[in-house]
Structure 1
Amino acid sequence: MKIHHRESERHALALMVDNEAGILAKIAGLFTARGYNIDSLTVADISEDHAMSRITIVTHGPPPVIDQIMAQLERLVPVHRVVDLTDEGPHVERELALVKVAGKGENRVEALRLADVFRANVVDSTTGSFVFEITGSPEKVDSFIALMRDLGLAEVGRTGIVGMLRGADSI
């Protein structure tokens, strides 16, 4: 069965979990076993005593599938809270990427000009290449990478998305 783009929605899920060995494997296994795709995954220790981690997962699916994913995640023992940032309302999403562009002459000048427009920083430079660091929304990062393709894009490394609710509320 083909899922029409309109029926399949992108969702950013934030999870608070015990920081213990195997939790990421359990979560990935849940997605794999049910045929769900993970578009982006980030994990970080967030507590002073290293007891808790925050996991941000971006996935696609129709609303009933997203509801099922959340229900199954909430049943995993080391998971304390699952929040669908997309459904909760206004939230901020950011991603970091390192983008290597190899080129000479005009392409090199144009790459630097576009980096300035996108507020990307040069973090490494040789006579034949630049490595740019860019942060922003996933759409901004995608646009920057697309423009660099014609200028000698050589390599891309992306962190994945980190998201947080706007305002004073926290998960």
Structure 2
Amino acid sequence: MRHTLSVTVENKPGILTRVAGLFARRGYNIESLVVAETENPQISRMTIVVDGDGRIIEQVSKQLHKLINVLKIQDITHEEAVHRELILLRVNADATNRTEILQVAEVFRARIVDMSRASVTIEATGDTSKIEAILTTFRPYGIKEFARTGRLSMMRGK
């Protein structure tokens, strides 16, 4: 099962390497990792998506707690949280299909961020299923390239 961990850390050099190394040493694959500074520039939030059962997640959490600079760990997999990903994709678009591609992008509430004679670059955000649906929908047009973030998550306000 995929678990989403929200890890708050001190914004210090090397913390990302130590966290990723902890997973690698134990043979656990990180499926997604997003790290960014928070509202406090001394603190960063890591959103880590890892596949494993509850026992594995508990073991990893205990090991993470031992790392210097780790402040807080939450498994938010089953919590009320907002999850989002971002995708940029460049799709083949010529005069014959450009209007159709723009209409499809509009259905997904995506934005056109670049346009050339031969392609259109689209930006979209949403949960994992929406991003997968976007990829599936645009594949027949010919995806030239895409870049995708990992899952970014935050607990809902109470």
Deviations 1:65-99 (A, max 9, x none): 11111111111111010001113x21110111111
Instruction: Specify the SS of the correspondent of 2:87.
Output: strand
1:137 matched to 2:127? The reply is: yes
1:157 matched to 2:151? The reply is: no
CA distance in 2, matches of 1:107, 1:161: 31
Task: Report matched runs for 1:10-159 at 5 Å.
Answer: 10-48=2-40, 50-87=41-78, 89-159=79-149
Structure 2: state its 5+ residue gaps. none
Q: Is the 8 A contact 1:107 1:152 kept in 2?
A: no
Instruction: Specify the SS of the correspondent of 1:86.
Output: coil
Q: What is the Cα-based RMSD across aligned positions, in Å?
A: 1.3
Instruction: Specify the SS of the correspondent of 1:150.
Output: helix
Amino acid in structure 2 at the alignment position of 1:42:
V
Instruction: Using the TM superposition, give the Cα deviation of residue 165 of structure 1 relative to its aligned residue in structure 2, in angstroms.
Output: 1.0
Instruction: Specify the SS of the correspondent of 2:7.
Output: strand
Instruction: Using the TM superposition, give the Cα deviation of residue 105 of structure 1 relative to its aligned residue in structure 2, in angstroms.
Output: 4.2
CA distance in 2, matches of 1:109, 1:60: 40
The two structures have a TM-score, normalised by structure 2, of 0.94
Amino acid in structure 1 at the alignment position of 2:7:
L
CA distance in 1, matches of 2:12, 2:76: 24
Q: Where does structure 1 differ by over 4 angstroms across 4 or more consecutive aligned residues?
A: none
Instruction: Using the TM superposition, give the Cα deviation of residue 107 of structure 1 relative to its aligned residue in structure 2, in angstroms.
Output: 3.5
Instruction: Specify the SS of the correspondent of 1:31.
Output: helix
The two structures have a TM-score, normalised by structure 1, of 0.87
Q: Is the 8 A contact 1:90 1:166 kept in 2?
A: yes
Percent identity (aligned): 42
Pairs aligned (count): 158
Instruction: Using the TM superposition, give the Cα deviation of residue 102 of structure 1 relative to its aligned residue in structure 2, in angstroms.
Output: 1.4
Instruction: Specify the SS of the correspondent of 2:141.
Output: coil
